Structure 1
């Protein structure tokens, strides 16, 4: 599991995150939700050690995030940030190959190539693997980034708003891919989402954040309640029974 103990980060006297105490179970999808500025992305990047903590401790599968060697941590957890700065004249296959760096240090082996093939196939990118990133649509590019993360072959996968800039169709496709990765590849996926209905349908657990702290944590059934959602988002939210589960209505 992922354990956060009194984790905190201060940017100023007015802006701070924590203290956060959180236990994210191994397996399945855990969605981080909440209003803008709640601290979702900050917490995720601290878990992935892309941002340092001011105090507290984070463990992933028993490994201390702050003290574990980078080369060892990279075989335990992978992270995809909101903004990616890769050279656009990379092909999809070259990009996905970066996911094997913790194992190959840039010298791909037959084993690496096999993992790359499987990641590309899993995301349905076989026909596009030799296309350059700047030749792709937003949805195709996002799938390529997720394929890169899956090729890193870590049990824990952290994704910061992977549905950004995706239309309805591609958002659904992406969530279906991630659901399959959690179920078929047995990955533990922690994902920052803005759409509470996507979280309710695809996640096993929902962690709701507000004002830099964990407000609620539970199953979708426990979180998808009018009083809970209205409190989290500071607006009236009605919950109705839809054809495929509970839906939040907030417009």
Structure 2
């Protein structure tokens, strides 16, 4: 369980995360939605200890993220940032193997190598395993980064806009893989998603933020209503049931 209690982060006079308290239950997919500047990515960054909070606490299964040793936390919690840049030229296999560092310290065992192969196969990267990242398309590269996160073998996975720079087809494929990963490996996946319909179709729960605060949270059925979406986006959005999913539609 991830427990966030009274977390605040300010830049100058602006509270980008404003006294947020939130509990994320184990298992499944939770999507964090909201307009630009709502505080979504900052909150995720605080939970993953990439950004220090000014006040409040975050615990992962009782472990305080600010005091738990990095190696111990990295065996429980994996994170993929919105922008990923490597200063060295790596192959897909070398990148995915980085996911084993918290467990192996860089000395890969047979089990580590087997998990690297498993993650590469799971994201259908076998034919690209020995290709360098700069030789891949954006969609292929994003799959490689998520395979690295899977290879880290943590109970919790935090993803900041995993659909960033992906076209519609690759976004659909990525969301399906992430949904399947959560189910197949019994992981708790928390992701920042801009597209409400991707959140609706592939999530178990949705958290909505606005002006640094959590203004609503619940199941997809509870959250995908015109009233809630109007509050989140200040926009009139119709909601329709299509093939078992609630889909939001707005008109220019």
TM-score, normalized by the shorter chain, greater than 0.5: yes
Q: CA RMSD in A?
A: 0.9
Shift of 1:243: 2.7
Shift of 1:16: 3.0
Match of 1:81 in 2: 81
* C-alpha separation in 1, matches of 2:200 and 2:23: 19
Match of 1:37 in 2: 37
Match of 2:19 in 1: 19
Match of 1:118 in 2: 118
Match of 1:169 in 2: 169
**Per-residue deviation, residues 165-224 of structure 1 (Å, max 9, x unmatched):** 111111111111111111010010000000000000000000000000101000000000
Quick check: 1:106 aligned with 2:80?
no
TM-score normalised by L of structure 2: 0.98
Matches within 5 A, 1:38-77: 38-77=38-77
Which secondary structure does the structure 2 equivalent of 1:163 belong to?
coil
Shift of 1:45: 0.6
* C-alpha separation in 2, matches of 1:136 and 1:88: 15
Shift of 1:7: 0.6
Shift of 1:62: 1.3
Match of 1:10 in 2: 10
Shift of 1:17: 1.1
Match of 1:160 in 2: 160
TM-score normalised by L of structure 1: 0.98
C-alpha contact (below 8 Å) 1:197/1:247 kept by paired residues: yes
C-alpha contact (below 8 Å) 1:123/1:177 kept by paired residues: yes
Shift of 1:88: 5.9
- Unpaired runs of 5+ residues, structure 2, are none
